[in-house]
Amino acid sequence: MMLKSLIDAIEILESKDPLNLLRSKLKGVEYEEKKIGEVTFVKVYYGSGGREKVEILGRLGAIQMQNASKGLVSDADGAIVTLAVLLELLNLKEKGIALDLDVSFVTNISLNAKLIPHQPFNFMVPLIGLDEALKEEVDPKAGLILSIDSTKGNRLAKFDDFALTHVIKDGYILKLKDEVIDIYNRVTGHEVYLVSLTTGDLTPLDFNVYHISTLISPWLYTDSPIIGIATVSKQMIPGYVTGVQDIEMLEHASRFCLEMLKYVEGGGKVYDENELKELKEKLGESNLQRVKKWKT
C-alpha cells in the first residue's frame, strides 16, 4: 500500500545517513548518484522501453538542515513523495504488476541548503544554486514532468491538502484536462485545489518579482509539459522547520502521482493540444520563451 511506501521513504530520509539506506533499499534497481559540490542528486529509472516517459521530480533545497536543526524539514516533501512513488512501483512489480511506462525519479538528498531572501520566509535552494540544480534535475527525455515542491511559505495557496497547478508548456499556462482533475477528486475525496500562479512564477528566480515557490521552475529547461504538485498548509510555514510533515497530504500526493502514471500509460493527455495551437496561432510564441535557460 502507498502508506507503507510513504513511511518507508520517511524512515530512509529521516536518518543520519539517508544515502546509505537508500542504496541498500534500491539494490538491483537502475540507480545513479551524482554529487556536485555539497549537493547530492539521485536518479532512479523504472521501465524498459515503454511508449511514454514521465519524470517524477522532487524539488527542494535539502531534506534536512543538519547545521541548524534535527530531522526532516518542511522542504523535504518533494523527496518524500518522489521516493514513496518509486517504492510503491517496485512493490507492485514484486507482486507481478508492472506499468508499460518509463519513469525517471529525480531528487536531491542533501543535508544542508542555503537561504535566499523571499517574503514571508526565505527560500531554501540547493547549495549550488537553483539554476545549476535544475540543469541536473530536469530529464530532457521525459514527455511529462510532475514537479513536487513544498509550497507552504506563502499567503496564497492555503489549503489542507496538496494543490495542483495548471499545465505549463512553452511559456503558456494551459488548463488541466478534466480527466486529470477527476483523478485528483478521486484520490483526495474533495474538490480540486489549485495554486494561483502569476507571470512572475514562470520567470527565473533572479527576476526581482514574486515567486510562490520553485514548483514550476523546471519548465525553463524543457519543452515538455509540467504539472506542479504543491504540498501546502493552512498556516504559513518556512521550508527549514521540522515537525510539519502531513502524512495524509503526502499520501494523497503520492497516490495522485501513481494514478497519473497509470493514466499516461493508458494514453491519457494532460492538456488540450488544440488549445495551445490556437494560442500560438493567434498570439504567437510566448514572450517568456525569451528568458528560457536551456539545459546545456
Residues 151-167 have pLDDT tens digits of 999 999 999 999 999 99
Q: Decide if pLDDT at 101 tops 70.
A: yes
**Cβ(146)–Cβ(257) under 8 Å?**
yes
Residue 227 lies in a domain: yes
Average pLDDT for residues 255-283, to the nearest whole number?
A: 97
pLDDT category, 67, cuts 50, 70, 90? confident
Asked if residue 277 has pLDDT above 80, the reply is: yes
pLDDT band with cut points at 50, 70 and 90 for residue 296 = very low
pLDDT in the model for residue 294: 54
Predicted confidence at residue 10, as pLDDT, reads: 98
The mean predicted confidence, pLDDT, of the chain is 95
Indicate whether 295 pLDDT > 60.
no
The answer as to whether 43 is a domain residue is yes
101 within some domain: yes
Residue 230 maps to a domain: yes
Judge whether 296 lies within some domain. Answer: no
The H or E element that residue 12 is part of is helix 2-13
End-to-end CA distance of the chain: 39
Count of domains forming the chain: 1
- The predicted pLDDT at position 153 comes to 93
Mean pLDDT on 7-36: 96
Residue 29 belongs to a domain: yes
DSSP 8-state code for residue 296:
-
The DSSP string of 212-233 is: S-STTGGGGG-SS-EEEEEE--
- The DSSP output letter for 122 is P
Give mean pLDDT, residues 14-25: 95
pLDDT tens, position by position, 219-228: 999 999 999 9
% the chain with pLDDT above 70? 99
Q: Is the pLDDT of residue 73 over 50?
A: yes
Q: Grid coordinates standing for 285? A: 510564441
> Quick check: 189 pLDDT over 80?
yes
Domain boundaries, position 163: 2-291
| Whether the Cβ atoms of residue 230 and residue 58 lie closer than 8 Å to each other | no
Does 254 score more than 80 pLDDT?
yes
Integer angstrom CA distances of residue 108 from 62, 105, 135, 279, 282: 6, 10, 13, 35, 40
Q: Which residues in the chain belong to E strands, given as ranges?
A: 30-36, 39-46, 53-59, 102-108, 114-116, 123-125, 144-150, 163-169, 172-174, 226-231
231 assigned to some structural domain: yes
Residue 215 sits in a domain whose CATH number is 3.40.630
The answer to whether residue 51 scores a pLDDT higher than 90 is no
Q: Tell me the pLDDT tens digit for each residue of 120-142.
A: 989 899 999 999 999 999 999 99
